[in-house]
Chain A
Amino acid sequence: MTDYGHDLLFGLFVTPSATNAQHVLDLAVTADRAGLDLVTFQDHPYQPAFLDTWTLLSYAAARTERVRLSGNVLSLPLRPPAVLARAAASLDILSGGRFELGLGAGAFWDAIAAMGGRRLTASQAVDALREAIAIIRDLWNTEATGRVRHEGPYYPMAGAKRGPRPAHDIDIWVGAYKPRMLALTGAVADGWLPTLDYLPEGVASLPGLNARIDEAATRAGRDPAAVRRLMNFMNVRFSPTSQGMLDGPPGQWVEQLADLALTHGITAFIVGGDDPAVAERLAAEVAPAVRDLVRRERG
């Protein structure tokens, strides 16, 4: 049993479709009104059918009141870290502390290069992400004095002013699957944000992957509970009979999610599908019941 004790978050994984921008926005507003905790957007800037995720995040934040927003996950190779740090802090300030930073090392390198980014090997991309996280945290840290300097090699900074300071401690959530990314997550991230569908053996992969993060955290002198475990679920639906993971009646969702929380320490559940009806049922019929169940079990 692994439970890191975080409060539970429920949210949406939204496709930032440019041809259906109104629907995208409606989903964010629906999530906000229904009382979900998170609205997240994937970030593939080279995909012409998608909106720019940063612009969409800023706009969706302006059109909502309570819900927290994040990239899921932002593509670091096309979002230079200092630009991202300042934009993220700004959005956090403007939205009253509702922004969290989901960040990934990058994928689809040909497309990234075509948009002006740098082509890296998987291993280089992990190192670049580690460097970027350090830069972002340093720029947010206005308590410290002196300019921010970094040696590189990926993002050398000769000396940049700090700030702005975010309205709250923005979490950095990392999308990670492979050992080096998991190690980075444990060592420096505030959260792990994978997609269930991409885990080699689904839920059965979780103990091993969690253990790698825990181990890296411990080695870095951190409490493994400092790393929240989040999860995207791409294929979900409410159906009358039980068909599989998050494919069944609400009662089944409740049991499955509570089990993920109590057994595997997953405390943020982010569902895809772009369906406002699913968002409403998740908020009304699933989230409160999962919270109750987990609270009771945690005692």
Chain B
Amino acid sequence: MAIEVGIALGISGSDPETLLDLARQAESAALSLVVIQGGEDQGLDPWTTAVWLAGRTRHIPIGVAPAPVTADPADPEQAYPAIVAKAHRSLDILVGTRLITGESGWVVAPADATADQLRSLAAAGTPVVVPARSREDVDRLAELVGGDGASKERSAAVRARRREGIDYDHVPASLADVAIEPGDAAYRSVASTYLRGGSPGLVLRPRTPAEVADAIAFARRHRHLPLGVRSGGHGISGRSTNDGGLVIDVGALNTIEILDAGRRLVRIGPGATWKQVAAALDPYGWALGSGDYGGVGVGGLATAGGIGFLSRRYGLTIDRLRAVELVLADGSPVRATTADNPDLFWAVRGAGANFGVATAFEFEASDVREVGWAQLALVSTDLEASLRRFGELASAAPRDTTVFLVTGRPRQGQSVIQLYAMVDQRDPEIIVERLTPFTELGLLAQQQVVLTSYADVMGLAGDVGAEGHQGVGEPVARSAFLPELTDAFARDAARLLRLGLVYFFQLRTMGGAIADVPTGETAFAHRTPAFQVTAMGGDQARLNTAWDGLAGHFDGLYLSFDTDVRPQRLRDAFPPPVLARLRDLKRRYDPDNLFRDNFAIDPDPIEEHTR
């Protein structure tokens, strides 16, 4: 068994040259760790010494006990926690993961420990350090360890960042080479998502359906940890990152292929983004309606709904779905269509996150050539009237015209209303005719109207670079479906915005082809509302209080955009008969509730019996 042995250097009274000499000797002898011991008043400062040694060696991990910290700013002798944490992060940036802090990062053996004693101390998997004061001490250790010396793939410093409760040593072989754990250099690029900061314990990145099954098998053995499933990482309600749990990132399953040009049938991996999909379909003169932002991943949206700029004409994204392939909680791959596994096909279209990890979608694209695209900014001094009028215009518009409204906190009695509009027409005169009525919603401050392609509109989304998403904190959002935009809603919504709690308020116009599909056809059950409303704020409790006050206007919610975790939200997302059927299916397909990161449907809810 490979054991990991390092040296402990006492820094009280040692001269810097000796410290450095021994650290370098340990590094060239392929020992695993140099621990800095000391910190008595008169000795060297441990942190400064650790950083210094990291700067004068190349790769050997450096261990140092965490500095004593205080919350008392009048204490001249202890540092502040935020500064210490920043110092640790800074060293990671400067030298990579080489720092081990915390007493549990190593075990100290006696200076005269024998090889057997070292082996037994190392059996727990923690590196063992032996006090060293001279080159002879280091030589003796190097000899003791001999060829036994650690050559594990990840250094002791990287492994020291591992989280509790994850069986890192048994990550499936198929996934091990691309799995990312907290000490890895790539971790920063996968830890967080678009709107959420995270620190998962392990990110698994399967490349094939078989590897997805391996990842799910690993997740089944870690039922005690949060499990996030990530496609594009744009989830708001979906928690595709977490703290200390697992993430299955299907970003590598991102192929887009044409199956049947005659039927406009395309097969798309869950890890593609809608921007990529739009760009791939554009040469054929096709498009697949998605949401309002091209950076969103296919998997998350295509299992929830997809209310976008083409929905009024061609239906929700899930309405274009003809087949889906997924891996279930038990690891079995399954294909679902209206003919095969129709129950599952029904469930995936609106509640897919509860049933498995999708590995491929087959869609029938729509024939979409040039479209009119407009971004208008209007200033309104009477938001209530503007909302009311928007409701009338947007709902009455023909199916080829879809207008979304966004506004935020009013300033000095004025609201800036942003309109994002697509007109599925190529005649500029028609486009202008469709859009002109909307310009009366306020004082037109900015307008841009172009004849373009759906792909170009999706292409407005920025590319995510090698750094990945860098979201921080938790998003705070509420969602609702609005059967109609009544005068009373316009009044209450304007009042809500004046409270200043909401910095982003969006109305997505529905109707048209969305309502052509019978309500029971998909697990997404909200076919008849006129609008989907989203509000984002900074404080969940305060937003909840305000939003709950509007409940009388609403009928259900869109599960992609709501971060409220109170149980009632599940019943808003799924009306009673739908929820009952989903529970039945959940008992069949995921009885242990492995998939629970987005609007978890408990197969056996206790609450239902008690209510």
Contact of B55 among A63, A82, A150, A157 (CB under 8 A): A63
Q: How far is the CA of A157 from the CA of B44 in the complex (A)?
A: 20
User: Which B residues, 24 to 64, have Cβ-Cβ distances below 8 Å to chain A?
Assistant: 40-45, 47-49, 51-56
A136 closest partner in B (C-beta): B76
Taking a contact as CB atoms under 8 Å apart, the answer to whether A93 and B51 are in contact is no
Q: Is B74 an interface residue (CB 8 A)?
A: yes
Q: A51-B94, A90-B45, A164-B44 are in contact. Are A83 and B77 (CB under 8 A)?
A: yes
Most chain B Cβ neighbours within 10 Å, of A78, A142, A154: A78
Taking a contact as CB atoms under 8 Å apart, the answer to whether B91 and A55 are in contact is yes
Q: How far is the CA of A83 from the CA of B48 in the complex (A)?
A: 11
User: Which A residues, 1 to 32, have Cβ-Cβ distances below 8 Å to chain B?
Assistant: 18, 21, 25
Q: A62-B56, A116-B80, A155-B76 are in contact. Are A90 and B44 (CB under 8 A)?
A: yes
Contacts of A90 in B (CB 8 A): 44-45, 48-49
Contacts of B83 in A (CB 8 A): 45, 52, 78-79, 115-116
Taking a contact as CB atoms under 8 Å apart, the answer to whether A116 and B45 are in contact is no
Contact of B44 among A62, A94, A135 (CB under 8 A): A94
Taking a contact as CB atoms under 8 Å apart, the answer to whether B95 and A59 are in contact is yes
Q: Is A161 an interface residue (CB 8 A)?
A: yes
Q: How far is the CA of A205 from the CA of B190 in the complex (A)?
A: 52
Taking a contact as CB atoms under 8 Å apart, the answer to whether B54 and A59 are in contact is yes
Q: A59-B95, A82-B76, A164-B42 are in contact. Are A115 and B87 (CB under 8 A)?
A: no
Contacts of B53 in A (CB 8 A): 62
Q: How far is the CA of A58 from the CA of B62 in the complex (A)?
A: 14
A162 closest partner in B (C-beta): B42
Contacts of A161 in B (CB 8 A): 40-42
B67 closest partner in A (C-beta): A83
Taking a contact as CB atoms under 8 Å apart, the answer to whether A58 and B77 are in contact is no
Contact of B74 among A59, A142, A155, A163 (CB under 8 A): A155
Taking a contact as CB atoms under 8 Å apart, the answer to whether A54 and B76 are in contact is no
Q: Is A87 an interface residue (CB 8 A)?
A: yes
Q: Is A117 an interface residue (CB 8 A)?
A: yes
Taking a contact as CB atoms under 8 Å apart, the answer to whether B77 and A82 are in contact is yes
B79 closest partner in A (C-beta): A83
Taking a contact as CB atoms under 8 Å apart, the answer to whether A94 and B16 are in contact is yes
Q: Is A104 an interface residue (CB 8 A)?
A: no
Contacts of B87 in A (CB 8 A): 52, 54-55
Q: Is A71 an interface residue (CB 8 A)?
A: no
Most chain B Cβ neighbours within 10 Å, of A60, A83, A160: A83
Q: Is A278 an interface residue (CB 8 A)?
A: no
Taking a contact as CB atoms under 8 Å apart, the answer to whether B52 and A61 are in contact is yes
Q: How far is the CA of A52 from the CA of B77 in the complex (A)?
A: 19
A135 closest partner in B (C-beta): B76
User: Which A residues, 60 to 80, have Cβ-Cβ distances below 8 Å to chain B?
Assistant: 60-63, 77-80
Contact of B73 among A55, A56, A77, A89 (CB under 8 A): A77
Q: Is B82 an interface residue (CB 8 A)?
A: yes
Q: Is A91 an interface residue (CB 8 A)?
A: yes
Taking a contact as CB atoms under 8 Å apart, the answer to whether B93 and A58 are in contact is no
Contacts of A45 in B (CB 8 A): 82-83, 86
Q: A83-B76, A152-B74, A164-B43 are in contact. Are A18 and B51 (CB under 8 A)?
A: no
Chain B 368-386: CB-based contact to A (< 8 A → 1; otherwise 0): 0000000000000000000
Chain A 83-120: CB-based contact to B (< 8 A → 1; otherwise 0): 10011011101110000000000000000000111100
Contact of A55 among B76, B77, B94 (CB under 8 A): B94
Q: Is A262 an interface residue (CB 8 A)?
A: no
Most chain A Cβ neighbours within 10 Å, of B55, B81, B87, B90: B90
Contacts of A95 in B (CB 8 A): 52
Contacts of B42 in A (CB 8 A): 142, 161-164
Chain B 77-116: CB-based contact to A (< 8 A → 1; otherwise 0): 1111111001101110111000000000000000000000
Q: How far is the CA of A61 from the CA of B81 in the complex (A)?
A: 24
Q: Is B1 an interface residue (CB 8 A)?
A: no
Task: Report, as a range, how many residues of chain B touch the other chain.
Answer: 35 or more
Q: Is B124 an interface residue (CB 8 A)?
A: no
Contacts of B71 in A (CB 8 A): 116
Q: A18-B93, A160-B41 are in contact. Are A58 and B78 (CB under 8 A)?
A: no
Contacts of B56 in A (CB 8 A): 62
Q: How far is the CA of A292 from the CA of B42 in the complex (A)?
A: 43
Q: How far is the CA of A118 from the CA of B74 in the complex (A)?
A: 8
Taking a contact as CB atoms under 8 Å apart, the answer to whether A56 and B90 are in contact is yes
Q: Give, as a whole number of angstroms, the nearest-CB distance from B352 to chain A.
A: 36
Taking a contact as CB atoms under 8 Å apart, the answer to whether B54 and A80 are in contact is no
Contact of A157 among B76, B82, B89 (CB under 8 A): B76
Q: How far is the CA of A168 from the CA of B41 in the complex (A)?
A: 19
Q: A21-B93, A117-B73 are in contact. Are A87 and B48 (CB under 8 A)?
A: yes
Contacts of A115 in B (CB 8 A): 80, 82-83
Taking a contact as CB atoms under 8 Å apart, the answer to whether B90 and A94 are in contact is no
Q: How far is the CA of A81 from the CA of B78 in the complex (A)?
A: 9
Contacts of A78 in B (CB 8 A): 80, 83
Q: How far is the CA of A117 from the CA of B75 in the complex (A)?
A: 11
Q: A78-B83, A162-B42 are in contact. Are A62 and B73 (CB under 8 A)?
A: no
Taking a contact as CB atoms under 8 Å apart, the answer to whether B91 and A59 are in contact is yes
Q: Is A132 an interface residue (CB 8 A)?
A: yes
Q: How far is the CA of A132 from the CA of B42 in the complex (A)?
A: 18
Taking a contact as CB atoms under 8 Å apart, the answer to whether A154 and B74 are in contact is yes
Q: Give, as a whole number of angstroms, the nearest-CB distance from B567 to chain A.
A: 35
Q: Is A156 an interface residue (CB 8 A)?
A: yes
Contacts of B75 in A (CB 8 A): 80, 155
User: Which A residues, 183 to 219, have Cβ-Cβ distances below 8 Å to chain B?
Assistant: none
Contacts of A164 in B (CB 8 A): 42-44
Most chain B Cβ neighbours within 10 Å, of A62, A117, A157: A62
Contacts of A118 in B (CB 8 A): 73-74
A53 closest partner in B (C-beta): B90
Q: How far is the CA of A25 from the CA of B89 in the complex (A)?
A: 16
Taking a contact as CB atoms under 8 Å apart, the answer to whether A87 and B47 are in contact is yes
Q: How far is the CA of A251 from the CA of B52 in the complex (A)?
A: 39
A85 closest partner in B (C-beta): B76
Q: Give, as a whole number of angstroms, the nearest-CB distance from A124 to chain B.
A: 12
A139 closest partner in B (C-beta): B41
Contacts of A162 in B (CB 8 A): 41-42
Taking a contact as CB atoms under 8 Å apart, the answer to whether A132 and B76 are in contact is yes
Contacts of A60 in B (CB 8 A): 55
Q: Give, as a whole number of angstroms, the nearest-CB distance from B67 to chain A.
A: 8
Q: Give, as a whole number of angstroms, the nearest-CB distance from A17 to chain B.
A: 10
Contacts of B94 in A (CB 8 A): 21, 25, 51, 55-56, 59
Most chain A Cβ neighbours within 10 Å, of B48, B71, B90: B48
Q: How far is the CA of A25 from the CA of B49 in the complex (A)?
A: 18
Q: How far is the CA of A172 from the CA of B75 in the complex (A)?
A: 21
Contacts of B44 in A (CB 8 A): 90, 93-94, 164
Contacts of B41 in A (CB 8 A): 86, 160-163
Contacts of A142 in B (CB 8 A): 42
Taking a contact as CB atoms under 8 Å apart, the answer to whether A80 and B79 are in contact is yes
Contacts of B40 in A (CB 8 A): 161
Contacts of A54 in B (CB 8 A): 47-48, 87
Q: How far is the CA of A132 from the CA of B47 in the complex (A)?
A: 21
Q: How far is the CA of A55 from the CA of B79 in the complex (A)?
A: 13
Contacts of B81 in A (CB 8 A): 116
User: Which A residues, 110 to 167, have Cβ-Cβ distances below 8 Å to chain B?
Assistant: 115-118, 132, 135, 142, 150, 152, 154-157, 160-164
Most chain B Cβ neighbours within 10 Å, of A60, A81, A86, A118: A86
Most chain A Cβ neighbours within 10 Å, of B42, B51, B52, B75: B51
Residue pairs across A and B with Cβ atoms less than 8 A apart, 8 shown, are: A18-B90, A21-B93, A45-B86, A51-B93, A62-B51, A80-B77, A82-B76, A95-B52
A-B pairs, top 4 by smallest CB distance, nearest first, are A62-B55, A118-B73, A116-B80, A163-B42
Query: Given A83-B79, A86-B45, A155-B75, 18 more contacts at CB 8 Å?
Result: A21-B93, A51-B94, A52-B89, A55-B51, A55-B91, A58-B52, A78-B80, A78-B83, A80-B73, A82-B77, A83-B77, A86-B41, A116-B80, A152-B74, A155-B76, A157-B77, A161-B40, A161-B42
